A and B are shown apart, each in its own frame.
Chain A
Amino acid sequence: MKLELASLSFARRNLRILRNVTLALESGELLCVLGPNGAGKSTLFRCILALIRDYRGSIFLDGSEVREIEGHVLSRKIAYIPQSHQGTFEYTALEIVLMGAASGRNMFSSATAADERFALEQLEALGVGHLAGRSYARISGGERQLVLIARALTQKATVLVMDEPTANLDYGNQVRVMEHVAKLARNGYAVILSTHNPEHAFLWSTRVAVLAGGEIIREGLPSRVLTEEILQDLYEVRVRLFPLGESVKSGYRACVPESDAGKERELSGSFQSCAPVR
């Protein structure tokens, strides 16, 4: 499975949101898109999902133009995993996952017992089979994110588009969700996700793309692309990157903002970085 974006540009009401974006994503890759709020990450994802179709340039999936693929066919190839939300009505986790099976089906169809079994298997594969009968609104944010991932797997899509999967999650859940996502990429899924945490890119991504002002300004291996200068330009704060050797992951850097508080209290010497051990 190969996704290619060729000179993608998009403007709305004379406001240019994306400019000349060229990117490629293959099975087995986990591409992190970094960029400040308003850089165009969500718009980029909406184009990939064909939720926006009036862009210039092209998006190809294995050679065929994405916006010309019929919705129910496309949903079996590219899945959208939104930020974990609560929803209007309380469904059980299994009912949410089962909606993935509705993709690629006739409008008038209903779920079969086989669909239900398959949906349950996807929950179990992510280690959250016990949530099946629980209310989706009453589980933790991290669990909700895993349920949404299970729904994407039930869609049988192989390209996963994730909009800030770790937003609003506590530290442990961020690590757990990202570990699962990295494993999916290793198992052959093509994953593109946005994040605001450079350390996540260092730890889990195979490639990183930096989006600023609607343009891809850098792209490549995280350790090559993410420098102190780039991060400072991007987020307009001064940061320091510290290599932690091979104990965490080759190429991993701890990313620490320079803090006035630290300087004033002379605490900078006692700063400790925290990284999950793989």
Chain B
Amino acid sequence: MSITTVRRFHALTTLAIVFLASFILSCALGRYPVHPMTVIQLLLSRFLPMDATWAPQAETVLFRVRLPRVAAAALVGAALSGAGVAYQGLFRNPLVSPDVLGVSAGSGFGAALAIFFSFGAALTMLVSFGFGVATAVLVGILAGKPRGDATILLVLCGITAGSLFSSATSFLKLMADPNNVLPAITYWLMGSLASIRGRDFVFAGPPILAALGLLWMLRWRLNVLTMGEDEARALGTNVPLARTLVIAGATLATAASVSISGMIGWIGLVVPHLARMLVGNDYRILLPASMLMGATFLLAVDDIARLVASSEIPLGILTSFVGAPFFLYLVRRQGRTA
């Protein structure tokens, strides 16, 4: 291994350790605190034979309530950050976020529609997911096969679709019963993991993991794609296929995340940027680093959402409150040293 490889390996290991620590800590924190050692014992007890030295309540709280939520936070954080960093490479623009193709707005509209017709939680998730994926497919078809730069048209179609779905969502809110339906839609759109159950995890987990796996496999190819179409093709890349796979992975991850957590902004833009500062721009390490950092970031934010106030604070609000000033600080600091 060369020196750079070793350094990167260390960076990733550090990020993985920080993630694991915050995962266990997040499982421990809450209205009914569980000692971190007990959390580790309980988690291991599922795989290893162990004497039950813990209180039975701890087991119930951990597996029924806390673990699904903490795991969902980690998964959604990783998915949004991974999708964001992948889209940034694809569109060769560090300011792109996971909602660039209108996927979040599409998913949000799907959810609002389902809540409007009182479809129930499981169906709401499904409709939201379906609308998210359908938006990306529609944008892809609308952008078609232009002669010039494909990405600009794709972004324009995405922005248009996103704005269209936002307006449609506003219209639904206008029509909704202000006593119960409107608050439900509004609360859902602000993003929250409060209603996560084990079955939501089963629903959203596999597509997110599959999408992140696909993006991870394309990590080196993403480097080549950032060099532009001509160079990528001259470097032996099947550009249309590679782009389609990246879009498919990032879209699937985004739509599945939004369908269980609602709209959580910022994270897909800020975390990739932090990761770039920390480990550089090589997607072979940037992609896993973004996923780990995104998972850690959303775990921390969700902890704040659960613990700080007596009633839960929506995640979408918190990610901006925490993310924006921190981001500003880092950008300013970087501007001074560079």
Contacts and interface: CB of A to CB of B under 8 A. Distances in A.
Interface in B83-140: 89, 92-94
Interface residues of B, number: 34
Contacts of A46: 230
Contacts of B234: 49, 51, 75, 78-80
Contacts of A133: 3-4
A94 interface: yes
Interface stretch (B26-34, B55-63, B213-221): B213-221
Interface string B10-36: 000000000000000000000000000
B235 A88 contact: no
Nearest to A82: B231
B306 interface: no
Chief secondary structure at chain B's binding surface: helix
B4 A94 contact: yes
A58 interface: no
A222 to B, nearest CB: 28
B2 A99 contact: no
A114 to B, nearest CB: 11
B236 A99 contact: no
Interface in B278-308: 280-282, 284
Contacts of A71: 233, 236-238
B281 A91 contact: yes
Contacts of B242: 107
A116 interface: yes
B280 A99 contact: no
Contact of B282 (A49, A76, A91): A91
A74 B236 contact: yes
A100 interface: yes
Chain A contact residues (Cβ within 8 angstroms of B): what range?
35 or more
A81 B217 CA distance: 27
B221 to A, nearest CB: 6
B120 to A, nearest CB: 39
Interface in A54-109: 71-76, 78-80, 82, 87-92, 94-95, 99-100, 102-105, 107-109
B52 interface: no
Given A74-B236, A108-B217, A116-B5, A82 B94 contact: no
A116 B236 contact: no
A87 B226 contact: yes
B143 interface: no
Given A46-B230, A72-B236, A75-B235, A91 B241 contact: no
B220 A109 contact: yes
A120 interface: yes
Contacts of A82: 230-231
Interface of A: 46, 49-51, 71-76, 78-80, 82, 87-92, 94-95, 99-100, 102-105, 107-111, 113, 116-117, 120, 132-133, 155
20 contacts: A51-B230, A51-B233, A51-B234, A71-B238, A80-B230, A88-B92, A88-B93, A88-B94, A90-B280, A91-B223, A91-B280, A91-B282, A99-B223, A99-B224, A103-B237, A104-B236, A107-B237, A111-B284, A113-B1, A116-B2
Closest 10 CB pairs of A and B: A75-B236, A103-B236, A80-B234, A72-B236, A89-B281, A108-B217, A88-B92, A110-B220, A103-B235, A95-B282
